[in-house]
Amino acid sequence: MRVKFFSVLFFLTPVAWGQRPAFGLKLGWPATDVFRTESWPGGKYEGASGRWVLGPVFELMLPWRFSLEADLLHRSVEYRSQGPGESLATTGRVWCFPLMARWRLSERWVAPVVGGGITWRRFTGLRQTGTETPGTLPRQPVAVNRREPRELVDRTSRGYVFALGLEGNLLGPRLIPELRYTRWRNDAFRTMHGSSLTGRNQFEFILGIMF
């Protein structure tokens, strides 16, 4: 099995390096928040992340209408927690790095495109601010300013990404609108009750502009 894999890799490598790379920009609108909204008696967590993703894309065209794509997408993130004696807001950024194989179904000017691969994300610039009331006397609100949010479990996550879209091969930049689904394998944040604060399923509408 390994011999066959490396034989195919050896065959494709010179072909791949002979192709012209393409660069572009991806702009997207997430249909789901990074964080889940969860309520309990007397309190709640509420996701309030930014509504846009943006970043550069690199593409390497292969034979038979295949291509390899690497993105670096940025999004601002935020969640708020309200409960007995506390009012906190956590802000930061998340960087996503999807690596995808894509296949254009035909040579027409506008053709369907499918893709899939693996993805990583990294939370950076996190800060948790607000007030908390400690359990000890005197019970007075205390200002909070943390770089490590109490709900943080892991700054890095890994998952799988799938895409379905259209590619317009017009005279000029190629436009690639697509629907993208990501399934994350692990929780990056958990609530103080132990449940997942980050959603495992992520849906986005992405528009790619390739040059």
Q: Which is it for strands 43-47 and 73-83: parallel, antiparallel or unpaired?
A: antiparallel
Question: Using one digit for the tens of pLDDT, what is the confidence trace for 6-28?
Answer: 444 444 444 444 568 999 999 99
Mean per-residue pLDDT of the chain: 90
pLDDT at site 2 = 41
Structure tokens at 151: 């709900």
Average pLDDT on 58-75 reads 97
- CATH class belonging to 19-210: mainly beta
pLDDT at site 136 = 67
Residue 41 pLDDT greater than 90, yes or no: no
Question: Using one digit for the tens of pLDDT, what is the confidence trace for 94-150?
Answer: 999 999 999 999 988 899 999 999 999 999 999 999 999 887 667 788 999 999 999
Between 6 and 182, the higher pLDDT residue: 182
Q: Could you state, in order of their start, the residue ranges of all structural domains in the chain?
A: 19-210
